Amino acid sequence: MKLLAIDAGHGGKDPGAVSNGYLEKELNLIIARRAYNILKEKYKNQIDLIRDGDYSLNHKLRTKKIKNKYKYCLSIHLNAYNGKGTGVLTIPSIFSQRGKILAKIIADEISNGLGLKINTYYQNGRKGKTGLDYYYMHRLTGKTTTIIVEVCFLDNLEDMKKLNIESASRAIAYGFEKFMLERIKG
């Protein structure tokens, strides 16, 4: 198993959220690429970028690229909720204690880096009707500890004023590094 997959959410025909003149898929890719470039300096051939261009990956193909091939996966997104949501949200699997720790550390780093509050709505994951994880990125990535990282709300002008790509990317990378250091110490 390699150490880390960084997944730029959406892509191609799937733009994700569209608001305030932005397409989520484009910002996801920019943030994911930058976080990847920061982390590859340290982790070299132990890290991959799952989507490295603007093309479609359906959920089966996306998760097949990740499932049981990495210890960790960070799926990068920007959130949207009819202009009513705000803050950073990191979503772990409901079944992963390690994921909850990683999600909290990354949320803290983004919150500090961008001056955003932490939106705790799904901070402990979300259960679907079947009792499994609601999000396919958790259900279908096997033993890979996957975190969905919602950097901020694309459809909230106040959040977007605080979005700085470099700061967001560094916060994600530093959060992952901090988590890894704590695992080594612990």
Q: How much is the pLDDT for 185?
A: 76
Q: How much is the pLDDT for 183?
A: 82
Q: How much is the pLDDT for 179?
A: 98
Domain formed by 2-185, architecture: 3-Layer(aba) Sandwich (3.40)
Q: How much is the pLDDT for 40?
A: 96
Sequence-ordered list of residues with C-beta below 8 angstroms from that of 77, at least 6 positions apart, any chain: 9, 10, 16, 24, 28, 148, 149, 150, 151
Q: Which residues of 56-74 are buried (b: 16+ CB within 10 A; e: fewer)?
A: ebeeeebbebbbebbbbbb
Q: How much is the pLDDT for 186?
A: 62
- Calculate the CA dihedral of residues 165, 87, 140, 56 and round it to 10 degrees: -40
Q: For residue 121, how many other CB atoms are within 10 A of its CB? A: 14
Q: Which tokens sit at 183?
A: 């695992």
Q: What residues does each domain of the chain span?
A: 2-185
Strand 22-23 with 18-19, pairing = antiparallel
- Coil, strand, or helix at residue 37? helix
Which mean pLDDT values do the consecutive 10-residue runs of the chain (186 residues) have?
Answer: 98 97 97 98 96 96 98 98 95 96 97 96 90 96 98 97 98 98 80
